[in-house]
Amino acid sequence: MTSDLNAKLISFDTGKLAYKGVKMYKSLKIILISYFFLISNFELGAQNEEYLIGFSQCTTSDIWREQMNREILNELTLYPNMEMIMRDANDNSQKQINDIKELVNKGIDLLIVSPNESKPLTPIVEEVYNKGIPVIVIDREIESDAYTAFIGADNYQIGREAGYYAANLLNGKGTIVEIWGLPGSSPAQERHAGFVDALQSYTNIEIIFSQTGRWNWQGGYDMMVRAKDTYDDFDLVFAHNDFMAKGAYNAANDYGIQNDLKFMGIDGLPGSEGGVQYVIDGKLDATLLYPTGGGRAIEIAWQILNGRQVSKENILQTVLIDSTNARVIKMQGDQIQSLQNKISAHKEILDKQVERFRSQRLLLILSLISVGLLIGLVVLMIRAYRHKQKTNRKLEEQNQEIEKRNQEIVKQHNKLKEMTGQLEEATQMKLRFFTNISHEFRTPLTLLLGPLEKVLHSPDFNEKQKHQFRMMHRNAMRLLRLINQLMDFRKLESAKMKLHAGYHNIVAFLSGVKESFDELAENKGIDFKLKAEHDHLMLWFDEDKLDKIMFNLLSNAFKYTPDGGMIHIRLRKVRHLFGADEKNAVEICVEDNGRGMSKEHVKQIFENFYQIEKRQSNFFPGTGIGLSLTKGLVELHHGDIHVESEKGQGTSFTLHFPIGNDHLNEDEIVTESIEEGGTKREIRSAPTETDVMPGLEENFNTGRLPFEENEIPTILLVEDNQDVRDYIRSSLTGDFHVIEAANGKEGIRKVEEEMPDLIVADVMMPEMDGMEMTRNLKNNLNTCHIPVILLTARASLEHKLDGLEVGADSYIPKPFNSRHLQVRVNKLIESRKRMREHYRANLDFDKESGDNFNQLDRKFINKAIKVINENMSREDFGVEEFSKEMSMSRVHLYRKIKQLTGMSVSEFIRSIKLKKAAGLLKNSGMSISEISYEVGFSTPSYFAKCFKEQFKVSPTEYLAGGR
């Protein structure tokens, strides 16, 4: 504050006023400014409250105490309104308690304490804290949370780091002598715990000696002597500070064994007797930096006293110091010490100048005020009247001109706002138009790509014709990619695109991307390589979106790289700055030696619709959204992208993605892989046929039944576009019986009439769309078992998830390959067939094995089993009564059980009874005749016949352990 005032007063040049005749009016302005600055400084000085801080430390080492005090005193120079009283307990807990009481009696505003021992010091610290005095605990913890802030290193982590480094020095094998600090000290306890935990995984390393050295050199020396007297041989000495480690080294030197041992300490203090110098001199193999935190304590004290929020736990960072970095750290410490000494010298000079200034300030201020007021009065009286009228006229004219301009600005603003709204509306209309057109393009593209893929694999055409077909197919695929890019761009623009990041091996992913371009690289003679520093590197990313990113970058690289050129993909793990946070990251670099870009283009390359090459004759440069879309997809991953290019030298795009998932929101993480075909289903063992139970078989018309082994499955095709229906029907005819419907309502009616084995339906249809139709079918007990495949022009993952949520078994985006559809249909029908065969063979209907049933089917099966169990002993319980109990017609009951289990109703009833009988044979102790009547068979002989048909052994053999 005083230096600011000094600078302001120096700026007021009294010599110019006296000898150069500066105009009195300007002089008055300078005087008045100085006057008001003076008043402000007096007011600010009055507001700066003085604070008294008490500091109680317990350090036994002179070097540590000097380092701590130096940091505190240097930091205090930045806070002139803070005064400190220091007390040193000299390793005596009772003295430290008395020191703290003395400091409280002196009226301190804040206490900083470094406890000698945790347990004895806890009550006095709690007492001070409960009196409302803020407490900062530094270096060592207490056994309570009654403090305002803690500052110190993580002693447990330091112990772990020491343990890992010790294991490394011993190559995983050896014996260790550990020398503690005070047993009641929290750093000693935590360092020991971390050290022991780190060594638990090294079974060939043993701590054979662990005693206290009381933090000092003599204690380290004595413990080393005792360890040597107790054990003839050991490999490493770990002391809880450098001074004990130095004492142990000197003892070993006296024995002449110092070169046979490894020595480690903690503190890493600078200076000739500090741990860093010990490492440089070769007396210690390593030490871990343990910062004092003195400067940080003063900073936090100031924040607390000025009512600011501070963190309760302030953990200081550590670093391992060994022969590889000790000299660098020592040099840095020496430079810091030199700067601190200079700061102290400058502070002394500044204090002297401030005192001199204070003694002269009052006289100078009074003189300036007097002269200023006198001159001001004269000047103002002379000029006030002269300028009053002139000024008023000018102000009036300016006010009129300003008012006029304001009105014009308001009009222009309103007009600009109106034009902006119209432009935004027009832009949104165009984007909606292109998005809708893009969706509509997918259906005709299906009818283009599907037949083209068929004729490309047909032997009926010669190579010249197939070349033309391949050109047509290639351009149709290009149109599809452009449509997809436009839809993705629209989603990014409207912030509707969502990230679905899974945990994948990025190396394997990029290898797959590279393989897609290998043939093109070979044809162009391009040196195309993937260079990864790791064989396996896991990363959270959205496979679909990263595929689009890499496709755009590699497409541009191949487009602008001449034949015989070079394109490399580089992958490595780095530290990267994301905003203000430095994090571990994966770096992907796509570089080429192509034509490159000028600096002007590099600056604008990621802008929407920006194109490097202007449209020329016979040349179509593209849409200008590829790299803009790429940048948006990278940023959707919370990453960044950077481009470097030089015209004629090539281009390099560098992407960075954060490692881990802390940067991702919960809805951006996909923990289970959603496959394009829907969820995975388990296929169980092969089935066997069972005969129908005599006397219980149905003799009624059931309509079309679920297909048998030689029966052609029936597929219902629901699609409003006749051309698409014709194309799909032609793809499935021969292997399947295909029936058709033009919309969802008609589709539901056809399902009720025909009971197809599978449904293929479009999503967007008139009257009732595919989503609503699927929802109705899956919520109907009579139809919920029928598999549904949805076809749609909406290909995003969000729409796929919507389809799966309403119950669809598979989801295929348009345009699709006819072979793809055939495989999906066959797989779903085969899965249902194998499921029925499994249940028919194994009679396995319990909940744990029923994962292939949906919720309604599981409820139906459970109810059916319950009804049969309730009527288990009745011989006359048949299909008619069973259907009444199930509240279903005989036809619907037969269809439902046949679809789910592959059995007729009578076979299902009999299988449940036989399964119950098998259990009774093993566990009840009843005779075979008793069991046959218990499960509702009319005679034991008929029961034995049915049992043997089901289980391939007679009841007697089964009971004897034949099955």
Q: Rounded mean pLDDT of 729-749?
A: 88
Residue 927 has pLDDT above 70, yes or no: yes
| Spatial CA neighbour of 320 closest among 192, 165, 193 | 165
| Rama region for 110: left / alpha / beta (φ>0; ψ in -120 to 50; rest) | beta
User: Distance of CA 958 to CAs 421, 551, 907, 934, Å?
Assistant: 84, 64, 21, 17
- For residue 674, pLDDT over 80 is answered with no
Q: Is it the case that residue 447 has pLDDT exceeding 90?
A: no
Q: Quote the pLDDT of residue 492.
A: 67
Among the ranges 26-30, 104-108, 893-897, 911-915, which has the highest mean pLDDT value?
A: 104-108
Provide the pLDDT for residue 491.
66
- Backbone φ and ψ for 264, nearest 5 degrees, come out as -130, 145
Mean pLDDT of 699-726: 66
Quick one: pLDDT at residue 27? 41
- Range with the poorest average pLDDT among 57-61, 207-211, 357-361: 57-61
For 290-344, the pLDDT digits (tens) are: 888 888 899 999 999 998 999 998 888 888 888 888 888 888 877 777 776 777 6
**Which has more pLDDT, 415 or 709?**
415
pLDDT the model gives residue 730: 84
Q: Provide the pLDDT for residue 451.
A: 76
Main-chain dihedrals φ then ψ at residue 211, nearest 5 degrees = -140, 160
pLDDT of residue 222: 92
- Residue 11: pLDDT band (50, 70, 90) is very low
Residue found by looking up tokens 């009833």 in the block: 909
| pLDDT tens for each residue of 139-186 | 878 888 899 999 988 889 999 999 999 999 999 899 999 998 877 777
| Mean pLDDT, range 93-116, rounded to an integer | 91
Break the chain down into helix, strand, coil percent, rounded to 5: 55, 15, 30
Tell me what the mean pLDDT of segment 818-831 comes to. 84
Quick check: 19 pLDDT over 50? no
* Three-state DSSP class for residue 781: coil
Reported as a pLDDT band with limits 50, 70 and 90, residue 253 is: very high
Q: What's the average model confidence in pLDDT over 893-913?
A: 79
Most distant CA atoms of the chain, gap in Å: 139
Confidence (pLDDT) at 232: 83
Sequential DSSP letters for 449-460: HHHHHHHHT-TT
pLDDT score of 679: 32
**Model pLDDT, residue 838:** 67
More confident residue, 366 or 688: 366
What is the mean pLDDT of the segment spanning 649-676? 81
Rounded to an integer, the average pLDDT of 640-645 is 92
Q: Compute the Cα dihedral for 532, 537, 543, 546 and give only its sign.
A: negative
Residue 726: its pLDDT value, please? Answer: 84
In which band, very low, low, confident or very high, does the pLDDT at 504 lie, cut at 50, 70 and 90?
A: very high
pTM of the model: 0.38
Is pLDDT at 598 greater than 70 in this prediction?
A: yes
The percent of residues above 70 in pLDDT, for the chain, comes to: 81
Most confident of 402-416, 462-476, 900-914: 402-416
Give the ranges where 578-656 is alpha helix by DSSP (H). Answer: 599-604, 626-636
What count of other Cβ atoms lies within 10 Å of the Cβ of residue 869? 11
Q: Which of 213-222, 514-523, 836-845 has the lowest mean pLDDT?
A: 836-845
Q: For residue 680, is pLDDT > 60? A: no
Give CA separation, 240 vs 92, 217, 251, 325, 422, in Å. 19, 11, 17, 21, 73
The mean pLDDT of 413-438, rounded to a whole number, is 75
Q: What is the DSSP letter of 541?
A: E
The rounded mean pLDDT for the chain is 79
User: Considering the chain, what percentage of its residues have pLDDT values greater than 90?
Assistant: 22
**Helix locations, 205-241, DSSP H:** 217-230
3-state secondary structure of 814: coil
Compute CA distances 373 → 15, 18, 377, 648, 673, whole Å: 18, 16, 6, 72, 83
**Which is more confidently placed, 261 or 491?**
261
User: For 186-190, what is the mean pLDDT?
Assistant: 85
Q: Are strands 313-316 and 149-153 parallel, antiparallel or unpaired?
A: parallel
Q: What is the pLDDT of residues 645-655, one digit of tens each?
A: 888 889 999 99
Categorize the per-residue pLDDT at 209 as very low, low, confident or very high, splitting at 50, 70 and 90. Answer: very high
Has residue 245 got a pLDDT over 80? Answer: yes
Q: In this model, does residue 810 exceed pLDDT 70?
A: yes
